[in-house]
Amino acid sequence: MPDQITPEIEALLRDAAEWRLLGLLFECPSDAWQSQLAALAAEVHDPDLRAAAAEAKPEAEEGMYHSIFGPGGPAPPRQATYHESMELGYLMSSLHTSYHAFGYAPATPEPVDHVAVEIGFVAWLKFKEAFARSFGDLEKAELARDAAARFIADYLSTMAEPLANILSHSGIEYLVLAGKVLRQRSGPKKQPLKAHASHFPIFGDAEASFECGTL
């Protein structure tokens, strides 16, 4: 049985929920997506995340998502896009190794270097830290805490600022807010890469049919 749930553990669980909500905002808006957003938004305190979830209700749809994040879209969602020198094979292998080491199985079918998958991993590590602390296992808690900090610094901070800069011109408020939160939580890279040229606004074909998980 876990020890008493302390305010510290409650804060960790709330932080994990906020990271999970942030990751969900970068996933393709499938049928169950809206209900998941609403459930998580009710559990978090971050005003920007709550506002993003509220804005997503009227704004989010699959055609828009693929127009922005799909191949050739103005906002590349994959880590590999933001590296100038790292080999793709090494990047993918290192991510697989990190996920496997902590038993992380992404809930989305996106590639392992997709921003939603990476954010989900941070949420998982935050949850594992809270779980370990609830049982008084400080060694495992500190391992998860340090892994989250390193992962954010080594991976998410590389793409957070340029991706947020691109999304700030999208005109899609929930994505503007999601990018803002990602940048705030990841912190600026010491030498951030230049953002890709923006091709916003996006005017999708209202008659086009898109399905999540087809990128």
* pLDDT tens for each residue of 87-142: 788 889 999 999 999 999 998 889 999 999 999 999 999 999 999 999 999 999 99
Q: Look up the CATH number of the domain holding residue 144.
A: 1.10.3480.10
Residue 121 included in any domain? yes
Give the structural domain span for 67. Answer: 7-186
Q: Residue 129 in contact with residue 19, Cβ under 8 Å?
A: no
Q: Residue 58 in contact with residue 200, Cβ under 8 Å?
A: no
Residue 207 included in any domain? no
Residue 113 included in any domain? yes
Residue 197 included in any domain? no
Residue 156 included in any domain? yes
Output the CA angle 201-116-151, nearest 5 degrees.
125
Classify residue 84 as exposed, middle or buried by CB count within 10 Å of its CB (0-12, 13-18, 19+): exposed
Average pLDDT over residues 203-214: 46
Distance CA 33, CA 57 (A): 10
Tell me what percent of the residues of the chain surpass a pLDDT of 90: 72
Residue 209 included in any domain? no
Residue 35 included in any domain? yes
> Which DSSP letter does residue 193 get?
P
Tell me what pLDDT residue 211 has. 55
Residue 213 included in any domain? no
How many domains, the chain? 1
